[in-house]
Amino acid sequence: MNVAHGVGSSADLPLPLDLVLQAGAATVVLSFLISAFLWRRPRLDGGVPREAPLAWLRYPVLLLTGCVVVIAFLGPPGDRNPAAHALFVWLWVGLVPVSVVLGPVWRAVNPLRTLFALLCRPPFRLPPHGLRPLPPGRGAGSWPAAAFLLAFVWFELVVPHQGDPVAVGAFLCGYGVMQLAGAVVRGEEWFARADCFEVYSSLAGRLSPPAWKPWLSGLATPAPAAFLAVWWGSTVFDSAAGGPAWAAFVQRAGHPGLLATAALVLICGLILVAVRRVAGRFDVTGSLIPIAVGYTLAHYLSLLLVEGPRGVLLLLGREPDWNPALIPGAMAAAQIALILAGHVLGVIVAHDRALAESPDRPVLATLADELPMVIFMIGCTWAGLFLLFVR
List per-residue pLDDT tens for the chain, 391 residues long: 544 444 344 444 555 777 777 778 888 888 888 887 777 788 887 777 888 788 899 999 999 999 999 999 999 988 889 999 999 999 999 999 999 999 999 999 999 999 999 988 888 777 888 777 766 654 445 789 999 999 999 999 999 888 899 999 999 999 999 999 999 998 888 999 999 999 999 999 999 999 988 888 888 888 888 999 999 889 888 888 877 788 888 888 878 889 999 999 999 999 888 877 765 566 778 888 999 999 999 889 888 988 899 999 999 888 777 777 778 788 888 888 898 899 889 888 888 887 777 767 776 777 777 777 778 888 888 777 777 766 5
Residue type, 104: P
Three-state secondary structure call for residue 174? helix
Q: In 10 A of CB 11, how many CB atoms?
A: 10
Residue type, 188: E
CA pair distance 19, 64, nearest whole angstrom: 46
CA pair distance 257, 168, nearest whole angstrom: 18
Question: What's the confidence (pLDDT) of residue 143?
Answer: 87
Helices (H), ranges, the chain? 17-38, 58-74, 83-84, 95-102, 105-109, 111-119, 143-157, 165-186, 190-194, 196-205, 225-241, 244-253, 256-279, 288-299, 301-315, 328-357, 363-389
CA distances for 10 relative to 228, 342, 391, angstroms: 28, 21, 9
Q: In 10 A of CB 21, how many CB atoms?
A: 17
CA pair distance 355, 349, nearest whole angstrom: 10
Full DSSP string of 297-352: HHHTHHHHHHHHHHHHHHHTT----------HHHHHHHHHHHHHHHHHHHHHHHHH
Question: What's the confidence (pLDDT) of residue 109?
Answer: 95
Classify residue 219 by its DSSP letter. Answer: G
Q: How many CA atoms lie within 13 A of 261 on its CB side?
A: 9
Residue type, 186: R
Question: What's the confidence (pLDDT) of residue 363?
Answer: 67
Question: What's the confidence (pLDDT) of residue 14?
Answer: 59
CA distances for 97 relative to 86, 90, 200, angstroms: 15, 10, 11
* 45 neighbors 219 (Cβ within 8 angstroms): no
